[in-house]
Every structure is written in C-alpha cells, then in structure tokens.
C-alpha cells in the first residue's frame, strides 16, 4: 500500500520531505501540547499553567529528545532559554525596590542569612554524603537561588499580591544575584586550584561582573528613555523593548558576560534609578509568552532519565537541606522584618523552586569546565527536575495559604 | 430599638477620621495590605486609633478629641508619621484622594469581620464599590437639641465642604468630569441623603422609633447621611468630605467646620426652615460636579452665585470666631489653596496633564501624604 502510494507520489512529481521540517514540526507540536496541557491543568486542577508546560518537557525527555540526552544544550535551545529567562529576570528586577532594604534592614539580613545558610547546609550535607569539596561547593552554589522564573510566572498568573509576594520577589532577585556571583567565583577558584594563571583566574570573574553591570546600565537606561517617550502599554512600544533586550542579550553572549546578571541588573537599574512607575504588559506581550512556555518545556525536558537513579538520592538530600536552611532563616528573622508567622510559612515554601536559572548556571559551568560539569550532571539535573514541579506547586500553595491570590483571576 | 441617650461632650471640640488608600509601590494600584499594616501599627502608641474599613486596601485613622486646629494637626501628624513608617516597612504607600484613580472595584476583597461580610451580603457590589475614601469630622455639642440645630445649620454649608475637599476626579482610569466623583458612590446607598428636619431630640427619637419599627434600620450606623448625629460621642458627624491629599488640609477643613459651627451656634445668622432643603440637592450636585466654580443657590433669597464667592464671604464672616478659636491659620491656608489650585481634584488633573500616567499621579499623591512633596 505504501509502495503504491510512494510510486504515485514520484509519478506526480510530489515531494514530501519530512527531514527538512522536523524541527518546525517538533516545535509546533510542543507549543500546541504545552498550551493544551497547560490550560487543562489550570482549568481542571487549578494549578499553574507552567506545570503543564513542564509535563510536556518531561514527555520530550522521556521520548529521548530531552536536553539532558545529548549531554549539552544545543545552541538554538540555549538561545531560547536565555531570551525567555532574560525577559523574566528583567521583569523581576523591575519589581524590586532596593530602597525597601533600607527602610526594612532586617529584610537584607534575612536575605544574606538564608543564602549563606543554604550554601553552608547544602555543602555540609553533600560532603557528608561523599562528594568531594569542589562538587559539594558547586551543588551548594546551584542551590542558593530560588527560581525567579517560577515565582514570577506563578505570582503573575494568579494575580498574587501581598507581603509574601513582595518578599519572595525581593529574596529571589537577591539570591539569584548572590548565586550567579558565587558561581563565577567558584569557577575562578576551580581554575586556581587546577593551577591556572592566578591573574587570569581573578580577572575573569571581575570582567564578567563589571561588563555585565555596565551593559545592564545601558539597557536600563535605554528602556527608560523609550518608556519616557512611548506608552509602554501599546504593542509597538513593547516590540521595541523586546528588541532592546534581545540586542543586549546578543552583546552579552558576544562579550562573554553573564546572561543572567545583565537582564536582572538592568531591571533593577530601571526600577531603582527612576521614581516613575513603569507599567507594561506581562512578558512584553505574546512573543514573550511563547518564549516563556518554551522555557518551562526546555527545563522540563532536562529531566535526566538515566541520571535520576544515580543522582536522585543526593538531589533529594540537597533539596531537603536547602529547604530547611531557607525556612530556618526566614522564620528566625521574619518577626523582625514585620512578617507574620503565616507569612513566614508562605515565604519559606515559595523559596523552594529551582528551574531555569540553575539550569543556565549549570550550562555555563559546562561551557567552561565540561568534565567537572559532567560529574555534577546527575545531582544537578535531578535537583532541577525535582524542584521544578514541586516548586511550582509549593509557590501556589504558599500564595494560597497566605491569602494572596486575587479575587478575580486575570 | 430605642435611640440611645446623647452623651455629654465639650462644645466645638473636634474629632477627625480619615480613610486612606493603601497602594503597592510598583504600579500604584490598591494593595490588600490593611491586615499587615494594622498588625504593625498595633505595636505603636498613637494619640488616636487605626481601624480597618470595608475592603482590605483601605485603612481608617481617627484622632482623639481635638481642641482646635493646632491640636488636630499635631495629632494627625503623629498618626500619619507612624502609619507611613509602618507602610515603608511593608513596601506599600499610603495616599489620600476620594477615589483611587484606576482601581477596579471587582478586584477588591472584603475585610474579614462579621459586620463587613454582613454589609457585603446586603449591599452586593455596592460594598466593593464603596472602596472610596472620606474624611469625617465630629463636632462636639452641648446637648442633643443643640446638636440637631447645628446639624441643620451646617447643611447649608455642605457644598462648601465638598468643593474645598474634593479630590476624586478619576474613577476606573477615566476623568469623570466631577471634582468629587466619590459622593456618587455614597448616594447609591438607600439610606443616604440627609436627616429629617426635626430640631429636638425627642422628635428625632420618634422618627428613629418609626424607622426601627419598620425594620429598615437597626442603629444609627445604618444611616449614610451627609451629616449624622453620633449620640455615643455626643457629636454630629460631617461625612461628606473627600479625604484630602495632605493632613494640613484635613486639619484646616476640620477647623473651618469648627469656625462655621461656632458662628452658627453663637450668632444664629440664619433662621432654620424646612424650605432651606429645597436647594440642597442642587447645590450639592453643583459642588460635586464643578467644585468651587459650581453654582450656589442661596436658600433664603434664591440668588445664584459661585460657590467660590460664597466660601470667601463665609470666611470673612467667621474671621473673628477663627481668631478666637486660634484657627485663623487654617482659614489662611484654605484661602490660599482656593486661589492656587482650587482643590486637590484640580491639582490631580494638572499632574495628569503633565505626566499622562495615572500611576504617576498616585505616586505623587503618596508623596504629598507623607509630607515628602510640598506643592
């Protein structure tokens, strides 16, 4: 039957070429599946849509096309990841008023405490379970940030507002900053350890920090100028913003600066150097929305199907230590910063997700120290896999229990 | 249910209640932070009180008993400073204004107390729409009959109070054309309007008995009149003002009411008649819609003049009472405000002209409230 059909095809001069459009087909199927499952999960289970997106990613991983399958993230996928994360991090940074740290200094203390405690606890836990010092340190560094992507997305999807939401945004932005700084320092330390030129080892992270900071300033300034002149709520203006962020991202990759620090610091720069409120559509409109869907699919597809057996237990231990450390810090210091007990529970829960940021940090590690990263892959990817889904549920649970979900869903 | 007895109070003392909006500091929309703010304020010692209001983005502050303008201003300053400090700890802002320029009433949540839930059940969407912010001024009276006489005397000046305090030109993101759009929400309630024209407490008791017998009313709190007697304090309560954008104006308005009350109770310049109320709703509408440029119809002569004229004339007439009550500073302040912006609604419109962003207008309102921006 098939032979006859193929014969007919060649006779009629019809050419059906699956191989040329495989990528496009795959992409479209992923987007459709993501949107459907996301909507289904939202409507019938009341869960965030990103859970649906992650499940699609899981499906992709199980079918063998996952990001972890080939051992390295293909550049196209990495680009989508970076761009989507840039949008989310920029939006997050633009929501963080550093002045609040001045009027409420215990918040800064809480932030430093939870990050340091997380690093220390996870490091000790990993050493106890048999990892060597550099690996334990690397896992500890990856554990410091709380995924701004998951937090920002769940909070905005459910129209969350209140103290828990504010505090989690602040703490997440800060611990992402600390985490990225720490990871660069870790790399420098690894290099020194391996006997590299000490000057180079020190200058490299400095170059990344200073360069990222300057580019972030330029991007922030650019957005401010645009926003001053155009109404950001209209489509054309958001297109311009999207273009600026993409340009900044391209420059970041060209010069080897941090794709995480630049958008986050640019958002912070925008919010904290001008008093005027900035209002724009979520994720800069539809284009951003698609990118965000892809982000969660990609991270979901990083599920290490084989590595889970090897790294799963370590990952569980690391995540448990991480949750304990963050909760302890938040609870002990919460009262001083004007937080109620119930809000303390909420904030602790909401700080648990681990997602794209950790994946990008891991990918950066892989880029420069491939062998070391390969050792780390089972633990790191398992941790991300576990906490991505659980984390999204935890954030929703936290916001719900704190009573911060909107009366009317947007 | 019988009407409670009218408590004794010092005549011409004041009490000021202000309802404030709690906003987030990102897009300056309303923020449901009143429970957190109340929790933090619980640890502070202030001369008055802070209480929750119908929805959880509103908070009400009240002073203690004030002798006059300076006392009111100092109490308000103390409470304001404590509130702003707590708000900063929570990364929220506080501002005045009769309405929030762009909040969506359907997003509001009722504050969790039995009374508010009962009101929400009864009044439906009106209760969420009641996310409006007003100033209530209590004036002490020597006795219940004097209170009712003062109530009816002050009714003639309601348009003054509205025009001077008006600060709600924007509703749901649009310019309503009104100076005080807030009062349109108040008038939607079935028991709004004015007290019946009785001048003795006994007659009022008869009226109250009839209302409670029909089951329409359970207590004085169910009346949403523009001026309402408050027997438990021994005061009458002027409820018609929008929350001004600064505590200076709030104190000055309270002092103005005090001076007019002094004039009315000491000199009785106008004999009271039921017919005075014939022009009441017209004058009130003109004040809400046009502010100081509205038309004021004299209830006695039927003469039309601008509200601004009548206000300035009144300020002249009460000048010596103001000096006696040490409130002449308040009158000076109100006169200069009248000359410069007219009222806060006009100022808000001017800011919007310049900035084209209502969130920025709210931000500047927060700065004016905290005293960081003086115009």
pLDDT tens digits, B151-187: 999 999 999 999 999 999 999 999 999 999 999 888 8
- Chain A residues within 8 A of B109 when measuring between CB atoms: 407
Kindly give, in sequence order, each residue whose CB lies less than 8 Å from that of residue B350, ignoring residues fewer than 6 positions away.
B341
Residue A10 lies in a domain: no
Residue A106 lies in a domain: yes
> Residue B188: its pLDDT value, please?
84
The pLDDT tens digits of the residues spanning B267-296 come to 999 999 999 999 999 999 999 999 999 999
- B130-149 mean pLDDT: 93
Q: Is the pLDDT of residue A347 over 70?
A: yes
The H-assigned helical ranges of A46-162 are: 49-60, 75-93, 99-103, 105-128, 133-143, 148-157
> Residue A285: its pLDDT value, please?
65
* Nearest-neighbour CA in chain A from B33: distance (Å): 6
The share of chain A scoring above pLDDT 90, in percent, equals: 35
What φ, ψ does residue B138 adopt, rounded to 5°?
-95, 135
> Residue A368: its pLDDT value, please?
80
Residue A171 lies in a domain: yes
CB atoms within 10 A of CB B2: 8
User: Which of B179, B123, B139 lies closest to B346 in space, CA to CA?
Assistant: B179
Let me know: does B294 contact B307? Beta carbons within 8 Å.
yes
Provide the 3-class DSSP secondary structure of residue B135: strand
Residue A7 lies in a domain: no
Task: Go through chain B and tell me how many residues it has.
Answer: 375
Classify each residue of B203-231 as buried b or exposed e, where b means 16 or more C-beta atoms within 10 Å of its C-beta: ebbeebeebbeeeebeebeebbbbbbbbb
Classify each residue of A325-346 as buried b or exposed e, where b means 16 or more C-beta atoms within 10 Å of its C-beta: bbbbbbbebbeebbbbeebbbb
Helix count (H) and strand count (E) of chain A? 17, 0
Residue A3 lies in a domain: no
Interface check A279 vs B, CB under 8 A:
yes
Identify the residue among B35, B44, B90, B125 best suited for mutation to test binding to A, counting A beta carbons within 10 A and taking the highest. Answer: B90
Residue A139's pLDDT band (boundaries 50, 70, 90)? Answer: very high
Q: Is the pLDDT of residue B305 over 90?
A: yes
* Nearest-neighbour CA in chain B from A106: distance (Å): 10
* Nearest-neighbour CA in chain B from A296: distance (Å): 26
Interface check A407 vs B, CB under 8 A:
yes
Interface check B214 vs A, CB under 8 A:
no
Strand B49-52 and strand B58-62: the pairing is antiparallel
- Quote the domain boundaries for residue A70: 19-401
Interface check B360 vs A, CB under 8 A:
yes
Residue A12 lies in a domain: no
Q: Which CATH class is domain B14-370?
A: alpha beta
Q: What is the mean pLDDT of chain B?
A: 93
- Cβ-nearest to A162 among B32, B107, B357: B32
The pLDDT tens digits of the residues spanning A10-67 come to 888 887 777 778 878 888 898 899 999 999 999 999 899 989 999 998 888 888 777 6
> Residue A283: its pLDDT value, please?
64
Q: What is the largest CA-CA distance in chain B?
A: 56
Residue A195 lies in a domain: yes
Give the domain ranges of chain B: 14-370
* Nearest-neighbour CA in chain A from B271: distance (Å): 52
Select the more confidently predicted residue: B92 or A403.
B92
Size of interface A-B (CB pairs under 8 A): 62
CB-based contact A104 B33, cutoff 8 Å: no
Q: What residue in B sits closest to A336 (Cα-Cα)?
A: B89
Interface check B241 vs A, CB under 8 A:
no
The angle that helices A163-193 and A75-93 make with each other, rounded to 10 degrees, is 130
Interface check A338 vs B, CB under 8 A:
yes
Q: What residue in A sits closest to B90 (Cα-Cα)?
A: A163
Interface check B40 vs A, CB under 8 A:
yes
* Nearest-neighbour CA in chain B from A308: distance (Å): 41
> Residue A131: its pLDDT value, please?
87
Q: Is the pLDDT of residue A270 over 60?
A: yes
Interface check A231 vs B, CB under 8 A:
yes
> Residue A71: its pLDDT value, please?
63
* Nearest-neighbour CA in chain A from B297: distance (Å): 43
- B70-74 mean pLDDT: 96
Interface check B88 vs A, CB under 8 A:
yes
| Rounded Cα gap, residues A122 and A119, in angstroms | 6
CB atoms within 10 A of CB B115: 10
> Residue A284: its pLDDT value, please?
64
Strand B224-225 and strand B192-193: the pairing is parallel
**The CATH number of the domain where A113 resides is what?**
1.20.1530.20
- B70-82 mean pLDDT: 96
Lowest mean pLDDT among A352-366, B58-72, B230-244: A352-366
> Residue B114: its pLDDT value, please?
87
Q: Which helix (H) or strand (E) holds B93?
A: strand B92-95
CB-based contact B91 A231, cutoff 8 Å: no
Select the more confidently predicted residue: A36 or A191.
A36
Q: What does B239-289 look like in DSSP terms, one character per residue? A: EEEEPPSSHHHHHHHHHHHHHHHHHHHHH--S---GGGGGGHHHHHHHHHH
- Cβ-nearest to A279 among B27, B91, B356: B27
> Residue B1: its pLDDT value, please?
60
Residue B80's pLDDT band (boundaries 50, 70, 90)? Answer: very high
- Cβ-nearest to A163 among B36, B86, B106: B36
The position carrying tokens 């006795």 is: B143
| Rounded Cα gap, residues B138 and A386, in angstroms | 61
The share of chain B scoring above pLDDT 90, in percent, equals: 78
Total domain count for chain A? 1
Residue A311's pLDDT band (boundaries 50, 70, 90)? Answer: confident
Q: Is the pLDDT of residue B112 over 50?
A: yes
Identify the residue among A162, A342, A405 best suited for mutation to test binding to B, counting B beta carbons within 10 A and taking the highest. Answer: A162
Q: Is the pLDDT of residue A369 over 80?
A: yes
Quote the distance between the C-alpha of residue B135 and its chain's center: 3
- A64-74 mean pLDDT: 70
Q: Is the pLDDT of residue B110 over 90?
A: no
Let me know: does B205 contact B2? Beta carbons within 8 Å.
yes
Q: What does B39-76 look like in DSSP terms, one character per residue? A: HHHTTS--SSEEEE-SBTTEEEEE---B-SHHHHHHHH
Q: What is the mean pLDDT of chain A?
A: 86
- A340-358 mean pLDDT: 90
* Nearest-neighbour CA in chain A from B44: distance (Å): 13
Provide the 3-class DSSP secondary structure of residue B156: coil
The share of chain A scoring above pLDDT 70, in percent, equals: 96
The position carrying tokens 């009714």 is: B155
| Rounded Cα gap, residues B241 and B250, in angstroms | 9
Provide the 3-class DSSP secondary structure of residue A319: helix
Interface check A24 vs B, CB under 8 A:
no
Strand B14-24 and strand B134-140: the pairing is antiparallel
CB atoms within 10 A of CB A370: 11
Q: Is the pLDDT of residue A410 over 50?
A: no
Residue A9 lies in a domain: no
Interface check B354 vs A, CB under 8 A:
no
Q: Is the pLDDT of residue A228 over 50?
A: yes
């Amino acid at each position: 039957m098939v032979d006859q059909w193929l014969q007919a095809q060649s006779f009629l001069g019809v050419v059906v070429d699956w191989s040329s459009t495989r990528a496009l087909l795959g992409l479209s199927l992923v987007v459709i599946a993501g949107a459907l499952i996301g909507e289904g999960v939202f409507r019938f289970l009341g869960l965030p849509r990103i859970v649906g997106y992650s499940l699609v990613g899981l499906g992709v991983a199980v079918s063998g096309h996952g990001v972890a399958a080939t051992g390295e993230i293909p550049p196209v996928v990495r680009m989508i990841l970076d761009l989507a994360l840039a949008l989310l991090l920029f939006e997050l940074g633009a929501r963080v008023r550093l002045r609040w740290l001045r009027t409420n200094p215990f918040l800064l203390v809480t932030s430093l405490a939870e990050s340091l405690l997380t690093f220390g606890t996870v490091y000790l836990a990993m050493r106890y379970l048999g990892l060597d010092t550099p690996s334990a340190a690397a896992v500890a560094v990856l554990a410091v940030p709380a995924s701004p992507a998951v937090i920002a997305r769940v909070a905005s999807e459910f129209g969350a507002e209140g103290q828990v939401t504010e505090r989690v945004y602040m703490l997440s932005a800060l611990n992402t900053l600390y985490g990225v700084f720490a990871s660069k320092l870790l790399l420098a330390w690894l290099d020194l350890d391996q006997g590299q030129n000490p000057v180079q080892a020190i200058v490299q992270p400095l170059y990344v920090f200073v360069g990222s900071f300057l580019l972030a300033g330029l991007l922030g300034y650019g957005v401010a100028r645009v926003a001053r002149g155009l109404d950001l709520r209209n489509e054309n203006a958001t297109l311009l913003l999207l273009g600026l962020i993409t340009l900044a991202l391209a420059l970041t990759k060209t010069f080897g600066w941090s794709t995480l620090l630049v958008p986050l610091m640019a958002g912070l720069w925008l919010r904290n150097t001008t008093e005027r409120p900035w209002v724009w559509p979520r994720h800069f409109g539809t284009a951003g929305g698609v990118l965000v869907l892809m982000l969660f699919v990609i991270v979901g597809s990083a599920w290490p199907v084989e590595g889970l057996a090897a790294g799963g237990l370590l990952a569980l231990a690391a995540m448990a230590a991480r949750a304990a450390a963050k909760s302890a810090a938040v609870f002990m210091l919460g009262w001083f910063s004007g937080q109620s007990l119930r809000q303390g529970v909420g904030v602790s829960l909401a700080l648990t997700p681990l997602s794209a940021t950790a994946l990008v940090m891991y990918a950066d590690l892989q880029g420069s120290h491939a062998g070391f990263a390969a050792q780390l892959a089972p633990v790191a990817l398992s941790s991300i896999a576990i906490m991505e889904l659980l984390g999204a549920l935890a954030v929703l649970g936290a916001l719900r229990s704190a009573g911060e979900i909107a009366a009317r869903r947007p | 249910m019988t009407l409670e007895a009218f408590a004794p109070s010092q005549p011409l003392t004041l009490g000021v209640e202000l309802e404030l909006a709690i906003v987030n500091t990102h897009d300056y929309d309303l923020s449901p932070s009143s429970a957190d703010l109340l929790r933090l304020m619980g640890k502070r010692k202030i001369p008055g009180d802070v209480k929750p209001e119908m929805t959880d983005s509103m908070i009400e502050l009240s002073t203690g008993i004030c002798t006059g303008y300076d006392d009111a201003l100092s109490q308000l300053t103390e409470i304001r400073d404590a509130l702003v400090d707590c708000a900063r700890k929570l990364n929220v802002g506080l501002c005045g204004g009769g309405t929030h320029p762009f909040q969506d009433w359907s997003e509001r949540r009722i504050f969790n107390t039995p009374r508010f839930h009962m009101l929400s059940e009864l009044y439906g969407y009106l209760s969420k729409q009641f996310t409006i912010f007003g100033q209530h001024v209590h004036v002490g009276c020597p006795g219940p009959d004097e209170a009712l006489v003062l109530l009816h005397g002050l009714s003639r000046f309601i348009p003054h109070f509205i025009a001077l305090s008006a600060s709600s030109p924007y509703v749901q993101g649009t310019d309503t054309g009104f100076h005080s759009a807030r009062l349109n929400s108040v008038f939607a309630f079935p028991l709004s309007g004015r007290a019946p024209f009785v001048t003795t407490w006994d007659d009022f008791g008869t009226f109250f008995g009839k209302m409670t017998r029909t089951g329409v009313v359970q207590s004085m709190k169910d009346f949403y009149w523009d001026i309402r007697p408050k027997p438990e304090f021994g005061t009458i309560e002027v409820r018609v003002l929008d929350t001004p954008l600064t505590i200076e104006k709030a104190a000055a308005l309270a002092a103005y009411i005090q001076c007019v009350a002094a004039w009315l109770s000491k000199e009785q310049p106008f004999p009271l008649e039921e017919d005075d109320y014939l022009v009441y709703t017209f004058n009130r509408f003109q004040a809400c819609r046009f502010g100081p440029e509205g038309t004021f119809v004299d209830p006695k002569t039927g003469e039309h003049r601008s509200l601004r004229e009548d206000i300035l004339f009144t300020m002249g007439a009460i000048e010596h009472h103001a000096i006696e009550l040490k409130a002449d500073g308040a009158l000076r302040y109100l006169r200069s405000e009248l000359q410069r912006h007219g009222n806060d609604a006009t100022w808000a419109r001017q800011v919007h002209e310049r900035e084209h962003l209502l969130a920025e207008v709210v931000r500047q309102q927060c700065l004016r409230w905290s005293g960081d921006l003086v115009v």
